[in-house]
Structure 1
Amino acid sequence: MITAIKEVFKGLPDQRKGKNGVYAMEDAALAAFSVFYTQSPSFLAHQRAMEKTKGRSNAQNLFEMVLIPTDACIRKLLDPVDPQHVYPLFEQIFDALDAGGHIDSFRVKLDSSSPEADTLLMALDGTQYHQSADIHCHQCTKTEHKDGSVSYSHTMVSPVVVTPASNEVICLPPEFVEPQDGHAKQDCETMAAKRWFAAHGNRYAARGATFLGDDLYARQPLCEQVLASGGNFIFVCKPSSHGTVYEWINDLQRINAVPTHQVTWRKGRTVYTDTYRFVADVPLRDRDDALKVNWLELTTRDASGQETYHNAWITRHALDSDNVASIAEAGRARWKIENGANNVMKTKGYHLEHNFGHGEQHLASLFATFNLLAFLLHTFQGMVSEKYRLVREHLGTRTKFFHDIQALTTYWCFESFEALLDFMIKGLEIEGPDSS
């Protein structure tokens, strides 16, 4: 996969005059990416030292660099590069997983009339990866606070493929909240989501995508954009922001015209009851051109009547007593983006919120994209490489695995990633595939 990554990096725009620089653009990009892949800010420093003593390093052998650029050179070369140049790699990895049948386990069955699990759930959410009172660039969002202070931040919409059955997620290309040419109004998550759907919606809708999002996404223009791409949606719908929807629900409830379905289940010694209420063809807003949506509510109570969960969604999936539980479960899977992606990226070694270098143009967003790409490549390897999976499972935690990677690549020079994994399998005395 590193070879494919290098090929894309070769196409990164080079803003240098005369093109007579010492370092190639792909070397700068591979160097930056290697830091995120190994989760080691000091990886390049160790490889420079290794090259001096051994004449070769893991920067060349594992990441196919020709020369190892200095940190300052990496930042200078990459600052003008728009992250969009890296997005094809997300698509290539997704396609490779799909071709290998690894996406199939993420598919769910939402249509009660269909015998197959044919829907992919793709959750979108905004996540902030930089905030500072001092450090900023031209792409930052500027916020003026009531006390007169000013802060600068970076936020992105980071879609992922999720499934209720697992905490594992598959990262898709992000979209960044940043100033747009020709627009005086400050950018926001909703506008970034619209741009993401314009760029990628058709591609993933063709794979049977149902998009998940919080109440912010449950607005008619965005819902119509999803439908126009050929996709479907399950978006959270709150009474505080959807008065028309709930006026209709309340009117129907008064005449007992809201269907209800109940399911009782047990967890340990505690018995719970899920109550589903659902209504078809509710107007999303108070206008003649209102989009008609299907509304679903889930309330969970324990045996004493204490409410333990409540939420409601809108969708264009048809609802009936046979599939409301599956639709609600899919809607709840939106939280996988927080637990399986954002939390991992911020607390499990990727250090998404750390300032690896800010620059004046695109450096912060490009580094965030490299970080997401590293996470995606780790996911890919865990799915397709038995050796990688065996070592990860044996070491137990993500942190332990990458601590070992960091230590080994500091002191040993490996011919390839395969050789590195073989070394770990032998040293850990893991029974597995032939490592000869």
Structure 2
Amino acid sequence: MGFYINSMRSTSGEFNDETVIENIGVLCGEELKELPYWETINNYLKRFSSDELQKVVCRLVYRLIRSRAFEDARLRGKYWQIIIDGTQLYRSRKDLGEHSLFCRKKKGTEGEYTEYYYYVLEAKVILHEKIQVSILTGFIENEKREVEKQDCEQEGAKRLMERLKQEFPMLQICICGDSLYASEGFFKECRRKKWKYILRYKEGSIPSINQEYQVLKKQEKNLQEKPEGVYDYVTGIDYRGESINVVEYETVEEKKKFLFVTDLSITGRNVKETAERGRWRWKIENEGFNAQKKQGYYLEHRFSHDYQGMKNHYYLIQIGHMIAQIIEAWEMLWEKVKQSRKQKHRLLLNA
């Protein structure tokens, strides 16, 4: 869990407590007299395989799904909604090593400089309206410093999707993502894996789809006006052999328009639910990355100057956030505790 501790050095001080030492000893299956100092832990994480921590994440998610406690979260009672998105972890003008990505800033000016950064691609599964947890992680990284073409999110998504199929071959999945993934290759890959998808769609992503949609929606007249917004849809748009359905949603107050492409069957009865699930893509940003950056997990902090150590810290944050979300969503536990998230985390640490 986060506990609002912003550095490894602070962890050594905060955890230097008899109760904490005793509880961690129970988890480790042995009696501990003291905890390793933060530098010792970091040295260990530099050598520890990230694959092992990824296995822990997968096993935890597998147990949560098999518990059948979150069946109501399934889309249309069948598909587990998995959101894919990426975020920047740390950036600096100092070279972060051969695996980091880099970009040129203020090109062609006297102030031109190179910025180095770490970037991660995350797949999170929706277990509840208040719970969306990491199921698989992929780091976007260069194999070496001098490269003609850097690693990118699209290539990382291909690798992540392949691993996801290997780890959860029988899981019925509906992938959700932004317009970056709206492409022929992505559509075919989902069909090959027998997955469904709902993707945010921008008119410039695949112009031919939007052109046909604008013509057909006037003919088919599927428009629905509801108190919260206006819904419209067109089914069966052909794009290079793929049958694409388009869903449109416009908010009443802000007049914001959202378009989605999907291969889920669309009818007047389920168009609202489909649009709402499409908008859940923002959960990975607002309740995932932003929570980990601003609500006590310090995701952007560089907990280790070693690349391997940094990756392992990232996985530990995902495990902690998974546990915290389930505890925080347990209303019976907190209904009488009128405190902030930070105060709740401190209570748990003190216990």
Distance 1:389 1:342, change over 3 A: farther
Equivalences for residues 19-418 of structure 1 within 5 A: 38-40=3-5, 41=7, 42-47=10-15, 50=17, 57-61=22-26, 68-109=35-76, 117-134=77-94, 136-145=96-105, 146=107, 147-162=111-126, 166-180=129-143, 184-201=148-165, 203-204=167-168, 206-252=170-216, 256-265=218-227, 272-283=228-239, 289-302=240-253, 308-359=255-306, 361-381=307-327, 390=333, 394=337, 396-406=339-349, 408=350
SS in 2 for 1:296: strand
Distance 1:391 1:332, change over 3 A: closer
Distance 1:244 1:399 in 2: 49
Q: Contact conserved, 2:134 with 2:322, CA < 8 A, in 1? A: yes
Distance 2:187 2:203 in 1: 18
Distance 2:58 2:93 in 1: 36
Distance 1:368 1:175 in 2: 11
Shift of 1:242: 1.4
Q: Point out the structure with max Rg over C-alpha.
A: 1
CA offsets per residue over residues 19-77 of structure 1, 9 Å max, x none? xxxxxxxxxxxxxxxxx5544342323545x57xx9x6554345557563333333233
Shift of 1:364: 1.6
SS in 1 for 2:157: helix
1:399 maps to amino acid = K
2:79 maps to amino acid = T
Q: Which moved more, 1:96-105 or 1:36-45?
A: 36-45
Q: Which moved more, 1:64-73 or 1:75-84?
A: 64-73
1:192 maps to amino acid = G
Distance 2:15 2:270 in 1: 55
TM-align CA RMSD: 2.9
CA offsets per residue over residues 66-124 of structure 1, 9 Å max, x none? 56333333323322444222111112111221232222131132xxxxxxx22221111
Distance 1:105 1:393, change over 3 A: farther
SS in 1 for 2:35: coil
Q: Contact conserved, 2:231 with 2:247, CA < 8 A, in 1? A: no
SS in 2 for 1:79: helix
Distance 1:292 1:264 in 2: 27
Distance 1:176 1:259 in 2: 44
Distance 1:142 1:219 in 2: 26
TM-score by length of 2: 0.86
Distance 2:27 2:47 in 1: 26
Q: Contact conserved, 2:99 with 2:143, CA < 8 A, in 1? A: no
Distance 1:127 1:201, change over 3 A: same
Shift of 1:208: 2.1
2:12 maps to amino acid = L
Distance 1:379 1:85 in 2: 22
Distance 1:77 1:273 in 2: 53
1:309 maps to amino acid = K
Q: Contact conserved, 1:44 with 1:59, CA < 8 A, in 2? A: no
1:194 maps to amino acid = K
SS in 2 for 1:241: coil
State the percentage of identical aligned residues: 19
Distance 1:105 1:170 in 2: 16
Distance 1:280 1:180, change over 3 A: farther
Distance 1:94 1:393 in 2: 29
The match for 1:417 is none
Shift of 1:187: 0.9
Distance 2:226 2:22 in 1: 60
Q: Contact conserved, 2:197 with 2:263, CA < 8 A, in 1? A: yes
Distance 1:201 1:223, change over 3 A: farther
Q: Contact conserved, 1:106 with 1:162, CA < 8 A, in 2? A: yes
CA offsets per residue over residues 297-341 of structure 1, 9 Å max, x none? 222335xxxx52211111111222222112111111111112221
2:58 maps to amino acid = E
1:68 maps to amino acid = L
SS in 2 for 1:216: helix
Distance 1:331 1:202, change over 3 A: farther
Q: Contact conserved, 2:2 with 2:296, CA < 8 A, in 1? A: no
Shift of 1:405: 3.6
Shift of 1:200: 0.7
1:131 maps to amino acid = R
TM-score by length of 1: 0.70
Shift of 1:135: 5.7
Unmatched runs of 5 consecutive residues or more in structure 2: none
Q: Contact conserved, 1:205 with 1:230, CA < 8 A, in 2? A: no
